[in-house]
């Protein structure tokens, strides 16, 4: 068995299956610390790829898979900087997270997201880089970014367009509304619906089935049916940075971090 335990996540490899567990209080926000550990994970999983059939990504947090990007860190890091440095910093972060998610998207093994609770913004974008989303019936999905004057920046729109019809993509994006697991399965976002608290168990059962088949064929099939939309992903970064340069965005982020509610990430 091979394993790693960091400050925001941990993983272990056993008999061809990697289990990656997000565990960053309070809501698995993806900031600089988690990004650095995801980069370490991608490097390690790449080295293990020849021996790996499946990777399962889940959360140790009770009510959340991931609430998305760490907006508090984003604002506090960007606010004191001149505009040019601010934009350079956000572009660097986006390019790094795109490298991570593109690597997961194109990995030669199957990646399963076992989702429970909140799966919003960057958390949904992480799930979309996976091959199969298994969600318990209490899972909720949303892209609330427009209320901040932004679009999803971790590759969400190109991947959602690749996998689903544009009508659902526009509804999710323009309204910012939460979609429950039942509707998410009905439109094809969720592959399997599990009972409350059972997503990881179902993911492990699915992984056991996947490991029975030929690895070379599996990798070839994934590459064929799931092309990475590189051109659109690059354009997304450019558009995000263009929108981020507007004063309205910093004002919206400031309002967000000053929200004293227990779950300000809810739309």
H/E element, 209: helix 199-210
| Mean pLDDT of the region 67-73 | 95
Alpha carbon distance 26, 61 (integer Å): 8
Residue-wise pLDDT for 98-140, tens only, equals 999 999 999 999 999 999 999 999 999 999 999 999 999 999 9
H/E element, 127: helix 122-128
147 in any annotated domain: yes
Q: What percent of the chain has pLDDT over 90?
A: 90
Q: Which domain holds residue 65?
A: 2-197+222-257
Residue-wise pLDDT for 172-215, tens only, equals 999 999 999 999 999 999 999 999 999 999 999 999 999 999 99
Q: HSE (CB half, 13 Å, CA atoms) of 130?
A: 25
Q: Is 27 exposed, middle or buried (CB count within 10 Å of its CB: 0-12, 13-18, 19+)?
A: buried
- Other beta carbons within 10 angstroms of residue 67's beta carbon come to 28
**CATH number, domain containing residue 18:** 3.90.226.10
Q: Which of 1-5, 35-39, 165-169 has the highest mean predicted lDDT (pLDDT)?
A: 35-39
217 in any annotated domain: no
Question: What's the whole-number average pLDDT of the chain?
Answer: 94
Report how many domains make up the chain: 1
Q: Which two tokens stand for residue 174?
A: 């323009």
CB 153 within 8 A of CB 246: no
Alpha carbon distance 70, 135 (integer Å): 23
66 in any annotated domain: yes
**Beta strands in 27-109, from DSSP E residues, in sequence order:** 54-59, 64-66
61 in any annotated domain: yes
211 in any annotated domain: no
Q: Which pLDDT band holds residue 261 (cuts at 50, 70, 90)?
A: low
């Amino acid at each position: 068995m091979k394993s790693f335990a960091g400050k925001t996540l941990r993983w272990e490899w056993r008999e061809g299956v990697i289990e990656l567990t997000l565990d960053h209080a309070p809501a698995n926000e993806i900031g600089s610390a988690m990004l650095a550990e995801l980069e370490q994970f991608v490097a390690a999983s790449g080295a293990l790829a020849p021996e790996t059939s499946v990777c399962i990504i889940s959360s140790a947090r009770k009510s959340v898979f991931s609430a998305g990007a760490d907006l508090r860190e984003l604002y506090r890091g960007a606010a004191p900087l001149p505009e040019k440095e601010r934009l350079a910093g956000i572009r660097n972060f986006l390019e790094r997270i795109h490298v991570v998610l593109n690597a997961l998207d194109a990995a030669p093994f199957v990646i399963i997201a076992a989702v429970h609770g909140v799966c919003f913004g960057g958390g949904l974008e992480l799930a979309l880089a996976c091959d199969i989303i298994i969600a318990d019936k209490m899972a909720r999905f949303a892209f609330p970014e427009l209320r901040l004057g932004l679009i999803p920046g971790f590759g969400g729109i190109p991947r959602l367009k690749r996998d689903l019809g544009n009508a659902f993509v526009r509804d999710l994006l323009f309204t910012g509304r939460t979609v429950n697991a039942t509707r998410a399965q009905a439109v094809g976002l969720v592959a399997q619906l599990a009972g409350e608290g059972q997503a990881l168990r179902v993911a492990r059962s699915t992984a056991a089935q996947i490991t029975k088949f030929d690895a070379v064929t599996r990798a070839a099939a994934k590459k064929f049916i799931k092309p990475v939309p590189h051109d659109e992903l690059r354009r997304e970064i450019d558009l995000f940075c263009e929108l981020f340069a507007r004063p309205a965005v910093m004002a919206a982020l400031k309002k967000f971090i000053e929200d004293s509610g227990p779950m300000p990430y809810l739309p």
